[in-house]
């Protein structure tokens, strides 16, 4: 007489197997269970109790199924693939952040605000659009990067593809960590002092900002307070990024992945902030421009009122120092990211063998 | 100490795991079925659970170390396993390797032949 419990147990073991194998294993298990029951023929228990004891002895059907599949201890990505997976994943994700961000900035600049827009301040909506686009494409690109790297490594691991991760040559051993991989306290304190002054002048006191005392009977701010107030969220974001970077630098004391991530973030935010603020033709106080013209006979916009060569659209008629600051900030930021990246990945390589 | 007890369990399981193949192969010179193996190895002091032996026999068959046949002559059909020619070669090699390792380990852990 077939016992329903036995059938269910066997089904639970074999249901994910290929048909032919499932049939064979079913037969085999049926024979095993029958034999085990025969052993207990003389026990003073009901048939049902015997079946339960035998099946309990055989254990969790899922576990038995895993034993049959030969993958009892299998994982999505195991060693040695896992170590390389983590390394590659980090590099890919960092590359995605940098790539998408640079792309978004270039794209936003080349598009510029819609000409003849009816909006009161087309630059604000331009920057918000750019920010939204950047966030969205960053998110989807990070997801795609993560998914692809994971899929590829899971495939390599399960196909048993060999990795050439062994040390080929003693000379390939990494250098002992150098002084330059460490971050001094002085650098951190400098960052914090700069951030504090920056915060007071531009975030807390936008209506005063940099007072010009000598051009008029009364002092007036160098920058347009309205524009400063408009970019306040970005200024605050920059401040938060700088503080976060300083805290992480202080905690880790050297170039770790998270310090590097913070440096990337700070530089991206500061580039976006600079572009948005100083890229706004209204950023300079109109009154300053007028007084400047009166006192020197020169226009502050472009090069004495002429478009700056090599730049198109509104960029050509920005005050030249603004444009210089924008270019310098962008170049320095990219340089800082690259230099921090080099230090981070060198010091990571180095710390690798301290542990092993 | 419960912790060390646990560690001992884990380490001894690891030690036996590799030997299981050797022991099971040695018992397959004559046609044998899974539960018979479970019983006889248990009596000989190398207890293995049926839920280990059955999948193992199947895997070894897939690897070409064993062959199998259903015996349907009785009213209870049974799957009998027997070692294959490749399995014999594999078994002899593994056995030699085990003796050799055993000898070396004994010398090392008992401190024999030391200056």
- B85: domain CATH number is 1.10.10.10
Provide the token pair at B114.
């030391």
- The verdict on residue B69 lying in a domain is yes
> b or e along B11-30 (b: 16 or more beta carbons within 10 Å of the residue's beta carbon)?
eeeeeeeeeebeebbebbee
Q: Which long-range contacts (CB under 8 A, 24 or more apart) does A75-80 make?
A: A76/A150, A76/A154, A76/A157, A77/A150, A77/A153, A77/A154, A77/A157, A78/A157, A80/A163, A80/A165
The single-letter DSSP state of residue B73 is S
| B105 pLDDT tier (thresholds 50, 70, 90) | very high
Q: Are A346 and A254 in contact (CB under 8 A)?
A: no
In chain A, the residue whose alpha carbon lies closest to the alpha carbon of B52 is: A67
Nearest to A67 among B55, B76, B78 (CB): B55
3-state secondary structure of A158: helix
pTM recorded for the entire structure: 0.50
* CA angle, residues A216, A198, A320, in degrees to nearest 5: 60
What's the rounded mean pLDDT across residues B101-109?
A: 93
Banded pLDDT at B24 (limits 50, 70, 90): very high
| Torsion, Cα of A83, A89, A91, A92 (10° steps) | 150
Selected residues 2-61 of chain B with any CB under 8 Å from a CB in chain A: 33-35, 49-52, 54-56, 58-59
Rg for chain A, CA atoms, rounded: 33
* Beta bridge mates, B67: B82
DSSP-derived pairing of the beta strands A211-212 and A220-221: antiparallel
Encode pLDDT of A212-255 as tens digits: 877 777 778 889 988 988 888 898 888 888 888 887 887 777 88
Question: Taking 60 as the threshold, does the pLDDT of residue A34 lie above it?
Answer: yes
Least CA distance to B33: which residue of chain A? A32
Q: What is the pLDDT of residue A179?
A: 65
> Which pairing describes strands B78-83 and B32-33: parallel, antiparallel, or unpaired?
antiparallel
For A157-209, how does the pLDDT look when each residue is reduced to its tens digit (9 = 90+)? Answer: 888 877 766 666 777 665 555 566 778 777 877 877 787 778 777 877 777 77
DSSP A248-317: HHHHH-B--HHHHHHHHHHHHHHHHHHHHHHTSTTSB-HHHHHHHHHHHS--TBBBTTBPPTT--GGGGG
The helix (run of H) or strand (run of E) holding residue A212 is: strand A211-212
pLDDT at A352 (0 to 100): 47
Residue A270 CA from chain centroid, whole number: 17
Task: State how many domains chain B has.
Answer: 1
pLDDT of residue B13: 86
Asked if pLDDT for residue A350 goes beyond 60, the answer is no
Confidence check: pLDDT of A134 > 90:
no
CB contact under 8 A, B50 and A68: no
Q: Compute the distance between CA of residue B50 and CA of residue A36 in angstroms, rounded to an integer.
A: 10
Mean pLDDT in residue range A267-273: 93
Q: Does residue B6 form part of some domain?
A: no
List of chain A residues whose C-beta atoms are within 8 Å of the C-beta of residue B81: none
Q: Residue A124: left (phi > 0), alpha (psi -120 to 50), or beta?
A: alpha
* A201 contacts: CB under 8 Å, gap ≥ 6: A208, A209, A210
Q: Does residue B9 fall inside a structural domain?
A: no
Q: What is the ipTM of this complex?
A: 0.81
- Number of Cβ atoms within 10 Å of the Cβ of A212: 17
- Tell me if B3 is assigned to some domain: no
Instruction: Give the phi and the psi of residue B64 in degrees, each rounded to 5.
Output: 85, 10
| Structural domain spans, chain A | 4-69, 75-166, 168-356
Taking contacts as CB-CB distances below 8 angstroms, the residues of chain B near A59 are 49, 51
B4 found inside a domain: no
Q: A27 and B77 in contact by Cβ < 8 A?
A: yes
Nearest CA distance, A64 vs chain B (angstrom): 6
Residues from chain B that touch A65, judged by Cβ atoms under 8 A, are none
Which residue range is the domain that position B39 belongs to?
17-110
**Distance between CA B79 and CA B69 in Å, rounded?**
6
In a domain, B35, yes or no: yes
Cβ of B79 within 8 Å of Cβ of A28? The answer is yes
pLDDT digits (tens, 9 = 90+) for B50-90: 988 999 999 999 999 999 988 888 777 889 999 999 999 99
């Amino acid at each position: 007489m077939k016992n329903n419990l036995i059938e269910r147990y066997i089904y639970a073991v074999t249901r994910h197997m290929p048909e032919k194998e499932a049939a064979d294993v079913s037969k085999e298990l049926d024979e095993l269970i029958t034999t085990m029951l025969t052993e207990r023929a003389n026990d003073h228990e009901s048939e049902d109790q015997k079946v339960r004891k035998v099946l309990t002895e055989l254990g969790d059907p899922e576990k038995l199924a895993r034993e049959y599949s030969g993958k009892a201890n299998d994982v999505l990505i195991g060693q040695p693939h896992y170590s390389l997976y983590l390394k590659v994943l980090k590099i890919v994700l960092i590359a995605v952040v940098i790539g998408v961000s640079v792309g978004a900035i270039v794209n936003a600049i080349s598009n510029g605000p819609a000409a003849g827009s009816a909006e009161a301040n087309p630059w604000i909506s331009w920057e918000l659009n750019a920010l939204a686009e950047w966030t969205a494409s960053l998110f989807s690109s990070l997801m795609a990067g993560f998914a692809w790297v994971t899929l590829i490594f899971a495939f390599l691991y399960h196909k048993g593809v060999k990795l050439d991760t062994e040390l080929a040559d003693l000379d390939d051993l990494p250098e002992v960590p150098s002084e330059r991989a460490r971050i001094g306290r002085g650098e951190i304190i400098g960052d914090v002092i700069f951030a504090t002054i920056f915060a007071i002048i531009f975030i807390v006191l936008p209506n005063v900002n940099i007072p010009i005392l000598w051009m008029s009977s009364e002092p007036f701010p160098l920058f347009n307070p309205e524009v400063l107030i408009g970019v306040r969220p970005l200024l605050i974001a920059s401040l938060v990024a700088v503080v976060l970077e300083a805290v992480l630098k202080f905690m880790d004391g050297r170039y770790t992945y998270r310090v590097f991530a913070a440096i990337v973030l700070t530089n991206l935010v500061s580039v976006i902030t600079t572009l948005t603020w100083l890229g706004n033709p209204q950023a300079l106080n109109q009154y300053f421009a007028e007084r400047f013209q009166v006192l020197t006979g020169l226009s502050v916009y472009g090069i004495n009122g002429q478009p700056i060569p090599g730049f198109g659209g509104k960029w050509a008629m920005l005050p030249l120092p603004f444009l210089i600051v924008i270019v310098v900030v962008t170049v320095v930021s990219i340089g800082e990211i690259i230099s921090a990246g080099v230090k981070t990945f060198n010091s990571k390589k180095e710390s690798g063998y301290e542990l092993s | 100490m419960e912790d060390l007890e646990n560690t001992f369990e884990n380490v001894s399981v690891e030690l036996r795991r590799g030997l299981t193949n050797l022991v099971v192969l040695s018992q397959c010179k004559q046609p044998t079925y899974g539960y018979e193996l479970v019983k006889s190895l248990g009596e000989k002091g190398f207890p293995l659970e049926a839920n280990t032996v059955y999948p193992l026999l199947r895997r070894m068959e897939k690897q070409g170390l064993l062959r199998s046949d259903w015996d349907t002559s009785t009213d209870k059909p049974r799957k009998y396993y027997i070692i294959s020619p490749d399995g014999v070669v594999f078994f002899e090699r593994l056995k030699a390797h085990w003796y050799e390792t055993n000898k070396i380990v004994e010398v090392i852990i008992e401190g024999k032949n030391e200056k």
